[in-house]
């Protein structure tokens, strides 16, 4: 490995991650991509889902991201997301409650209106959160 690359995950509220990592993998809207040091400049939007990285000590960490985009530069990756949570920070109870609410709303409205789309996005977020939180360590 040639070296570490700096990873920053930023939400409107705070820095979620700001450290040197060996590799960062994120769910781009056209497919998952991994970034090592020396990556060519790259800009993409992100899907709701899990990104993971291997930190300087070799431990693998997972982060939930939604509503974001990423910029990769040769020495730095920046992820700007509307929400991002480390796995240990995910509130599983809340995610489960959100899932139930979203399913209820989806069952009620069958048309493709705004509410429907919003409920679907909420369901997607909840499912990803649950999946990340429940992956075994």
Partner 1 sequence: MATLKDIKTKISAVKKTQQITKAMNMVAASKLRGAQTSMEGFRPYSAKFAEVLGSLAEKAGEETNPLLEVREEVEKVHIVLCTSDRGLCGGFNANLISKAKALKKEKEEQGIDVVFTVFGKKGRDWCRKNQFEIVSEHIGVVGGRFGFHVAATSGQKLIQGFLDNTYDEVYIVYSEFMSMARQVPVLKQLLPILPITPAEHEAETEETTYLAEHICEPSPQELLGELLPKNVYVQLYSALLETSTSEHAARMAAMDNATKACKDMIENLTLVYNKARQAAITAELMDIVGGAEALKG
> Is 111 an interacting residue with respect to partner 1 (CB under 8 A)?
no
User: What is the footprint of partner 1 within residues 88-107 (CB under 8 A)?
Assistant: none
**Which of 61, 135, 60 has the alpha carbon at shortest distance from 92?**
135
> Is 109 an interacting residue with respect to partner 1 (CB under 8 A)?
no
| Residues ≥6 apart with Cβ < 8 Å to 53 | 7, 17, 21, 22, 23, 24, 25, 60, 61, 63
Which letter does DSSP use for residue 89 in this model? G
> Is 58 an interacting residue with respect to partner 1 (CB under 8 A)?
no
C-alpha distances out from residue 35 to 27, 76, 89, Å: 11, 9, 24
How many Cα atoms occupy the beta-carbon half-sphere of 31 within 13 Å? 2
Which CB atom, from 55 or from 67, has the smaller least distance to partner 1? 67
> Is 13 an interacting residue with respect to partner 1 (CB under 8 A)?
yes
Q: How far is the CB of 41 from partner 1 (least distance, A)?
A: 4
> Is 41 an interacting residue with respect to partner 1 (CB under 8 A)?
yes
> Is 80 an interacting residue with respect to partner 1 (CB under 8 A)?
yes
Q: How far is the CB of 117 from partner 1 (least distance, A)?
A: 10
Q: Compute how many other C-beta atoms are within 10 angstroms of the C-beta atom of residue 58.
A: 7
Interface residue with partner 1, options 5, 23, 28, 35 (CB under 8 A): 28
Structure tokens at 5: 């690359």
Q: Give the residues lining the site for partner 1 (CB under 8 A).
A: 10-15, 28-30, 40-45, 67, 69, 71, 73-74, 78, 80, 82-83, 114
């Amino acid at each position: 490995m040639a070296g570490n690359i700096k990873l920053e995950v930023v939400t409107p509220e705070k820095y979620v991650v700001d450290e040197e990592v060996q590799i960062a993998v994120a769910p781009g809207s056209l497919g998952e991509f991994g970034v090592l040091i020396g990556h060519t400049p790259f800009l993409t939007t992100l899907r709701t889902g899990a990104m993971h990285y291997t930190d300087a000590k070799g431990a693998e960490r997972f982060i939930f991201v939604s509503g974001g985009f990423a910029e990769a530069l040769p020495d730095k990756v920046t992820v700007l997301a509307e929400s991002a949570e480390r796995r240990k920070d995910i509130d599983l109870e809340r995610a489960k409650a959100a899932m139930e609410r979203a399913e209820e709303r989806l069952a009620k409205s069958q048309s493709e209106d705004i509410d429907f789309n919003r409920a679907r996005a909420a369901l997607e977020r909840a499912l990803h959160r649950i999946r990340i939180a429940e992956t075994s360590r």
